Amino acid sequence: MKITIIGAGYVGLSLAMLLSSDNEVTIVDKDEKKIKMINDGVSPLRESDIIKAFAENKDSIIATSSIKDTLINANLIIIAVSTDFNNELNQFELHNVESIINVAYQVNNNATIVIKSTIPVGFTNEICKKNNDTSNILYCPEFLREGKSLYDNLYPSRIIIGTKTGDPRNAEKASAFADVLKQNALSDNVQVLFMGYSEAESVKLFSNAFLALRVAFFNELDMFAESKGLNTKEIIEGVCLDSRIGMFYNNPSFGYGGYCLPKDTKQLLVDFDDIPHDVISAIVSSNEKRKEYIVQRIISLSERVKLEKRINSVVIGVYRLVMKSHSANCRNSSVMDVIYELLRLNYSLVIFEPCDIDFSRWHNVKISENEDEFKKSVDIIIANRYDDYLADFEGVVYTRDIFLRD
């Protein structure tokens, strides 16, 4: 089977690795640097499983920036481009997804088109109507953890496929695509659920909203405990030993961030529109309050250190911008918002971040590439996720990483 995957992010690359053993896979992306790396057999993403898979399968995937040429002969077209949330429009940016579908129908209206990008509820039905109620489109949301995207494709928690209700031809395509995913997965008895387009779109948004809710809940628990001088860890452990709650995804942080949770919760809030709700809006609000709280705690620590050291001002060190310990993703990181507020309050900052990040937009911030120099240049350190490297700064490291894990 000839498969074209559009988008060389975590979703696209992990799918390419999953499907390349038995199929002819081509990745399409606008980034020429990524294209060259893929064609050289080098992963453009810093995920250990993907890096290893690229090294072992150097010739199994082709990358190109030419979309039309690859779509003409494709049997399966998978759209895995990002859909960022546009705060001015108050919705996802969907023009990339729509334009790809339009091009696909211009050059190849026989291929099955699978949307993996996260989209608003109702989008797939709308795009089908614009294309004369086509039977070719499926919606298959991804449920991937950052840093574990290939693993989560090989061992999927479930496969959800949104279909056109009452269309036998579309149902056949959905079944065939599900078989492709199952055949390439390593786990047995993967549960597959077929449902309407809008139901599948809802599964994706509500899943991420619940994860965001869980983060917000334990962050609020942590604020309560820290403010009252209580032991956060003991409280969380006592709460989570209830099997209905579970001892997982409960480690406090500076707030949720990353590729999905911030934008998906905002989009779901928009999709609610005039439907009565409190919980969804509270998730978004709680995350903002968490970051405000973190800033205030950092200020309190700064004031204490100024008194102890008898200095007029402190230099705040920021240890890593990434959301998770073994990650290269700074996108929508809660640490970023904390930094912006500290800069607004005229604090001096030094950032240590070894990942390849464009710092050109940062003003009045010193970037340190050496860990020892970083330590020597700061008075306190803030860290969304702790590292043993910070041990000799005990007492002046501010982190809420209670369980030392993501």
Residues carrying an active site annotation:
260
Q: What gap in Å lies between CA 187 and CA 174, rounded to an integer?
A: 20
Type of residue at 235: I
Q: What gap in Å lies between CA 321 and CA 332, rounded to an integer?
A: 10
Q: Is 332 annotated as a binding residue?
A: no
Residues 6 or more apart whose Cβ sits within 8 Å of residue 202 = 121
CB–CB of 5/12 below 8 Å? yes
Place of tokens 């507020």: 341
* Rg of the chain over all Cα atoms, to the nearest angstrom: 23
Q: Is 83 annotated as a binding residue?
A: yes
3-class SS of residue 382: strand
* Chain Cα centroid distance, residue 190: 23
Q: What gap in Å lies between CA 343 and CA 261, rounded to an integer?
A: 25
Q: Is 292 annotated as a binding residue?
A: no
Phi/psi of residue 16, each to 5°? -60, -45
**HSE, side-chain direction, 13 A CA sphere, residue 303:** 6
**HSE, side-chain direction, 13 A CA sphere, residue 319:** 26
Q: What gap in Å lies between CA 59 and CA 263, rounded to an integer?
A: 35
Q: Is 257 annotated as a binding residue?
A: yes
Q: Is 148 annotated as a binding residue?
A: no
Q: Is 17 annotated as a binding residue?
A: no
Q: Is 401 annotated as a binding residue?
A: no
Type of residue at 69: D
Q: What gap in Å lies between CA 334 and CA 1, rounded to an integer?
A: 42
Q: Is 29 annotated as a binding residue?
A: yes
Place of tokens 């707030």: 255
Sign of torsion over alpha carbons 90, 91, 96, 101? negative
Q: Is 253 annotated as a binding residue?
A: yes
CB–CB of 64/26 below 8 Å? yes
Q: Is 124 annotated as a binding residue?
A: no
Residue 41 in tokens? 């057999």
Q: Is 250 annotated as a binding residue?
A: yes
- Which run of H or E residues covers position 98? helix 95-107
∠ CA 225-206-9, rounded to 5°: 100
Q: Is 85 annotated as a binding residue?
A: no
DSSP class of 393 = G
Q: Is 204 annotated as a binding residue?
A: yes
Q: Which residues carry a binding-site annotation for NAD(+)?
A: 29, 34, 83, 118, 146, 263, 331
**Binding site as annotated, residues for substrate:** 143-146, 204, 249-253, 257, 323-324
Q: Where is the binding site, in residues?
A: 29, 34, 83, 118, 143-146, 204, 249-253, 257, 263, 323-324, 331
